[in-house]
Each structure stands twice: as structure tokens, then as C-alpha cells.
């Protein structure tokens, strides 16, 4: 299980307060930095913004997948999820608000795993029921269990 390992309830926030993409990055990186004291908040934000300047990671209706690789990230792969029932002005490719943000942070040397995580998420996001079920969750534990359940379904179907 890839996604069940990188995401955890303590790094899932339902009810993001942010109204735009930059505020969202700050809110989610702040959550990450409180759990990973060795992480460099400013360096991670800079890498996320640099990546985002190339092309919006608002990839599907209602979904954004910002991701970054940096030596400012503690070793390994890390995932943060933010959910905004109101929606975030994200400058997404379709111009619509984003409601679910999957942020992936990996250390610089973890390139192959970084791609594997993005691919696994992309496959799950092809299932509209996955997105709808995420939005129905009332707490971080529910979001985490949803990810694990859908990833298990994916694994057994492969």
C-alpha cells in the first residue's frame, strides 16, 4: 500500500480556511512543518511555487495535486490532504474551484517513488466515486480510511 503509507490522519485537514492557491500552500505546509520540525517551511513553499509556475496542478475538476521534491523535505515520501467544502480559487486548468488538495512532498533522491505516488493517485482520481466519497467525510480518519479502501480495491483489481 503506497498511499496508505504516505498519508495519515494527522496530516489531513478538513475545512481548509484558505481562499486561494498561495494561502492553501501555506496552510498545508504549516501543518506539515508542525509534524516535521526538521522541514524547512520557506524552502518547501519556494519549491512548490516554482513547480506551480510551470503549469497549474489543478488537474481535474475540483482536484489539485501540488507536488515537490526538495532536500528541505525530511527523507522519504510525505502526503498532506486538504479539503475545502467552499472551494479554493486555484487557477486550475478548467478554471473551476478546487475542493480536494493532495500535496506530495519527497526528498530529492526519491524521484522514482515520487512518480509512483503521482501515478497511483492519478489512477484513483479516474474514479468519480473516490472524489465524491472523500467530500462526504466528516473527519480526517474517514478521509484516510477512504484512501486505504480505494487503494485496496485498486490493488486487488490489478
| Catalytic (active-site) positions | 67
Beta partners for residue 79, in sequence order: 104
Q: Nearest CA to 70 among 31, 102, 109, 37?
A: 109
Closest CA to 103 of 155, 150, 47, 38: 47
> Exposed, middle or buried, 97 (CB in 10 Å: 0-12/13-18/19+)?
middle
Give the Cβ contact number of residue 141 at 10 Å: 12
Amino acid at each position: 500500500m503506497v498511499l496508505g503509507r504516505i498519508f495519515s490522519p494527522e496530516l489531513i485537514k478538513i475545512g481548509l480556511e484558505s481562499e486561494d492557491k498561495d494561502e492553501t500552500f501555506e496552510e498545508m505546509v504549516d501543518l506539515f512543518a508542525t509534524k516535521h520540525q526538521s522541514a524547512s517551511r520557506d524552502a518547501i513553499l519556494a519549491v512548490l511555487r516554482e513547480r506551480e509556475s510551470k503549469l497549474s496542478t489543478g488537474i481535474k475538476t475540483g482536484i489539485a495535486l501540488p507536488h515537490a521534491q526538495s532536500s528541505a523535505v525530511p527523507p522519504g515520501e510525505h502526503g498532506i490532504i486538504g479539503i475545502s467544502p467552499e472551494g479554493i480559487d486555484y487557477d486550475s486548468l478548467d478554471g473551476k474551484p478546487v475542493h480536494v488538495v493532495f500535496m506530495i512532498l519527497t526528498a530529492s533522491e526519491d524521484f522514482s517513488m515520487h512518480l509512483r505516488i503521482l501515478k497511483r493517485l492519478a489512477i484513483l482520481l479516474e474514479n468519480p466515486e473516490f472524489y465524491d466519497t472523500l467530500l462526504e467525510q466528516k473527519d480526517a480518519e474517514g478521509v484516510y480510511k477512504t484512501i486505504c479502501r480505494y487503494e485496496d480495491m485498486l490493488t486487488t483489481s490489478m
